[in-house]
Amino acid sequence: MRLQPGHRRIATVAVTALVFVALLFVGTTVQVPFVALGPGPTVNTLGTVDLQGDGKTTTKPVVDITGTQTDPTTGNLNLTTVSVTDGMSLFQALGMWMSGTYTLEPRDRLFPPDQSPDQVREQNQQDMTGSEDDATAAALRYLHRPTELQVATVADDGPAADVLRQGDQVVSVGGTPVSTTSEMQAAVKANAPGTALPIEIVRGGQTQTVSVTLAARPDDPKVGYLGVTPEVVNADPSLKIAYNVGDIGGPSAGMMLTLAVIDRLSPGELTSGKFIAGTGTIDAEGDVGPIGGITHKTRAARDAGATVFLVPAGNCAEAASDAPDGLTLVKVDNLQGAVDALGDVGAGRQAPHC
């Protein structure tokens, strides 16, 4: 039976309405397998932060130093972050993408399928804690304050399991003095598997020499393997350095935290009163590493009022490709370079730039 023209129009409208309702339902309720990345909060490492706990708000220094005299500071040394929006509907994702402020990334790049969101957050917090430890070590070494190389962990099935202990101070390896992780790693790798390697340590205040027979590294059977993780730590018992950054994870705040410690523990001002922001990982030896989301961080910094942004050398090309107006991008390879560049900025000299 053929429908009359009027009936056909009604049917067409009904089908169109059903399709529209279906699209509206899908677009507003079905989550897409993407996350949106955008500018996140910035935190002045020379300032304070409000922390929530036990139903009350406590204000604390972002970099809290006790046990020694600190130097007054002005200006800003802001660490920067990337915001992550998860659980988006199709329409939400399209809206964020079309805004030009956010980028979309496959969700499994940030939240691997074999890890729960809680596990990812826990790993990010562990990365932040490691970054804080490295910031302390890098700053104290730069300032020539006491540090020591300690055993952080010992592998249960490693060759040093029954010889070295967590907290042992390592003085030398194979007769070579060591004071950093890389120096210790190099001293171990210089020996072949099967070598009985003498290691001078301090345990319980007593200096002694122990011997560990090296195994072969799982990834390179020609290189000796000790089976410990060393770390550089503060060796001044009166000096306490704590960090209060709120709900921020990952390793990318390392350089800015390091600069804040240096600014607080040395005369003069690194910022010259200016609003400086930046990002970058750091290790105990002061090497600065690249991070993700650099263009979101530069935008967040400029929105917050920064005029200078410290960029890890490995991120320079990407940062320069979308630099906000009014923000000078300063290239940084290592901690000494960052301090020197801030001196140039304060004196009105040309600093290395991206």
Q: Is the pLDDT of residue 24 over 90?
A: no
pLDDT at position 57 is: 82
Q: Is the pLDDT of residue 338 over 60?
A: yes
Residue written as token pair 């030009």? 100
**What value does the mean pLDDT of the chain take?**
89
CB neighbour list of residue 69: distance below 8 Å, 6 or more residues apart: none
Structural domain spans, the chain: 5-30, 35-143+237-347, 147-234
pLDDT at position 100 is: 80
pLDDT tens readout for residues 281-334: 999 999 999 999 999 999 999 999 999 999 999 999 999 999 999 999 999 999
Question: Topology of domain 35-143+237-347, per CATH?
Answer: Ribosomal Protein S5; domain 2 (3.30.230)
Query: Span 242-251, mean pLDDT?
Result: 88
Strand pairing report for 308-312 and 275-278: parallel
Q: Is the pLDDT of residue 46 over 90?
A: yes
pLDDT at position 179 is: 94
Predicted structure pTM score = 0.87
pLDDT at position 20 is: 46
pLDDT at position 116 is: 81
Per-residue buried b or exposed e for 168-196, using 16+ beta carbons within 10 Å of the residue's own CB: bbbbbbbeeebbbbebbeebbbebebeee
Q: Residue 246's CB: how many other CB atoms inside 10 A?
A: 12
pLDDT at position 28 is: 45
Per-residue buried b or exposed e for 38-60, using 16+ beta carbons within 10 Å of the residue's own CB: bbbbbbbbbeebeeeeeeeeeee
Query: Span 81-90, mean pLDDT?
Result: 87
Determine the 3-state secondary structure of 98 from DSSP: helix
Evaluate the CA torsion angle 332, 316, 112, 246 in order and state its sign: positive
pLDDT tens readout for residues 184-212: 999 999 999 999 999 999 999 999 999 99
User: Which CATH superfamily does the domain covering 147-234 fall into?
Assistant: PDZ domain (2.30.42.10)
H-helix or E-strand containing 288?
Answer: strand 288-289
pLDDT > 90 in the chain, percent: 69
Rg (CA), the chain: 26
pLDDT tens readout for residues 151-197: 999 999 999 999 999 999 999 999 999 999 999 999 999 999 999 99
Evaluate the CA torsion angle 212, 216, 220, 223 in order and state its sign: positive
Residue with the larger pLDDT of the pair 273 and 12: 273
pLDDT at position 18 is: 52
